[in-house]
Amino acid sequence: MNLRQILAIVVTGLTLSCATPALASGAQVATMCPDAGVFNELIGGVCWSALFPLRIAGSTWFGGNSGVPNGAASGAVCECGGSWKHLTLPTVGVQIGYWQPTMLIEAVSHPFCSPVLGGVSLSPSSTTGNQWTGSWGGNIGTGTSTSQHNSTFFNVQLWTFPLITMMQLANIPDCNTGYSGMNLMLMSEVFPTWNNDLLSFLASPEELLYDNPIGLIGSAEECAQESVGAQPIDNEYWTAGCWGLLYPMVGSNLDGNDPIQASSMDVSRMIAMGFRLGFLERTMGNSTLCGPRRTYVLPKAQFRFQILFPNDETNQEPNASINLGNAQQPSAQSIPPANYVTPSASNQGTVAQPGGVNIQAPPTQSGECTHWMGQSPFQWGEWDSQPATGGNYVYLVWQWTNCCLGIIGNQGPTG
């Protein structure tokens, strides 16, 4: 075989691979997009202790490890609504504040992959992305970053997930984020800025002020404070503490060797983008007692995070399983199975739960199972990166909500 024949074979192979992306896509989705099993374990896999503490009429109740955000409302009495024009009296009540799960966010290494929906593709026509959207196949973006080949790249999908409302556990009128069910709110695959540093700069020119060594000083300061137990610093809205800078709002990260930190960073950037675009609102503070308020700057202390997949945060021991007495083989939903546990002497007689989210010990026994934005992964989940899951991560976002629980009067128009 001469050189000309070898070149002909190579060219033919490249042509066929480009002409039939759908054939490759199916295999890639099977191996790169596992089922996170989120809906299998809404009871055992959710950090229900993160609901506490509650703040009622200025007093903190029931303890809890989550803490009350520094910017939360702290008064006792509130007044909302009322209008002479509409002949309505104001509502007088007590101030309350609490944590509630409001969003599911998935950071995926394969565009349009959705572990939350069982490992399906959100785009039936393409799983490889294109240059005009926020993805370009695999986990490599098409941005202009000179360090891109040494970085990680995640696409991010943000789902509204008001779990308390969806499960009908509580119904507090006028005291929610406005979400009534699970909906896809944002996905990076449709944002051309997500994989292009130049377009991101044109959309957010203020990054010149923060994406520099001075901005890194603020990031290091916040990281140091959070490492000793402090809350995020809302005034330093350009940084996510130990995770890095929120600018530029792109999917590439320099932390190529730490997928937990990199995925957390991209999740934070998507939330920041949601505020910047007006999709997300502030629900913390005195100004939000009568309803959420629009702000274009990320209130970091309003959120806490719980990693759900590949290993959920409700237990300090990774890959914990239920003892069933006899070893059983989990059924395969992907290649390899997302819930596969490597056999060893220590795990015989156990089986992982379907989808990869395991039933864990009660959160009150395993300690704190949510974390602040920017908190070092070494404090909550550096071990949660698991092989054979395709480099995909799912986070449950807890949101502090302040509101006015009416006692006297009827709620009228506020504006």
Would you give the distance in Å from CA 371 to the centre of its chain?
12
Confidence band for 383, pLDDT divided at 50, 70 and 90: low
The single-letter DSSP state of residue 266 is H
Does residue 17 lie within any of the structural domains? no
- Segment 322-344 shows an average pLDDT of 34
- Segment 371-398 shows an average pLDDT of 82
287 token code pair: 């100004």
Does residue 348 lie within any of the structural domains? no
**Cβ(179)–Cβ(160) below 8 Å:** yes
Higher pLDDT, residue 21 or 48: 48
Does residue 234 lie within any of the structural domains? yes
Q: Is the pLDDT of residue 323 over 50?
A: no
Does residue 135 lie within any of the structural domains? yes
Rounded Cα distance between 345 and 322, Å, is: 15
Rounded Cα distance between 261 and 113, Å, is: 20
Rounded Cα distance between 337 and 388, Å, is: 8
- Residue 381 has what pLDDT? 76
3-class DSSP assignment, residue 286: helix
If one counts the domains in the chain, the total is 1
Measured in degrees and rounded to the nearest 5, phi and psi for residue 113 equal -70, 140
Nearest to 414 by CA among 288, 296, 299, 275: 288
The single-letter DSSP state of residue 330 is P
Would you give the distance in Å from CA 230 to the centre of its chain?
21
> Percent helix, strand and coil across the chain, each rounded to 5?
30, 20, 50
Range of the domain at 146: 40-320+358-408
**Cβ(283)–Cβ(256) below 8 Å:** no
- Segment 36-64 shows an average pLDDT of 89
276 token code pair: 């910047």
Does residue 369 lie within any of the structural domains? yes
DSSP letters for 73-86: ---SEEEE--BTTT
- Residue 185 has what pLDDT? 96
Tell me the pLDDT tens digit for each residue of 75-129.
999 999 887 777 788 889 999 999 999 999 999 988 999 999 999 988 756 545 4
Nearest to 190 by CA among 132, 270, 234, 248: 132
- Segment 328-352 shows an average pLDDT of 35
Q: What is the mean pLDDT of the chain?
A: 76
Please give the single-letter amino acid code of residue 18: C
Rounded Cα distance between 271 and 104, Å, is: 11
Confidence band for 178, pLDDT divided at 50, 70 and 90: confident
- Three-state SS for 92-106 is EEEEEEEEEEEEEEE
Q: Does this model's pTM top 0.85?
A: no
Does residue 33 lie within any of the structural domains? no
- The set of residues, in sequence order, having a beta carbon less than 8 Å from that of 182 and lying 6+ positions away, is 104, 159, 160, 161, 166
Strands 135-136 and 129-130 turn out to be: antiparallel
Measured in degrees and rounded to the nearest 5, phi and psi for residue 284 equal -120, 130
Task: Work out the percent of the chain whose per-residue pLDDT is above 90.
Answer: 47
Higher pLDDT, residue 360 or 302: 302
Rounded Cα distance between 378 and 227, Å, is: 10
Q: Kindly tell me the burial class for residue 321, based on how many C-beta atoms sit within 10 Å of its own C-beta (0-12, 13-18, 19 or more).
A: middle
Helices 21-32 & 3-19, crossing angle to 10 degrees? 70
Higher pLDDT, residue 257 or 5: 257
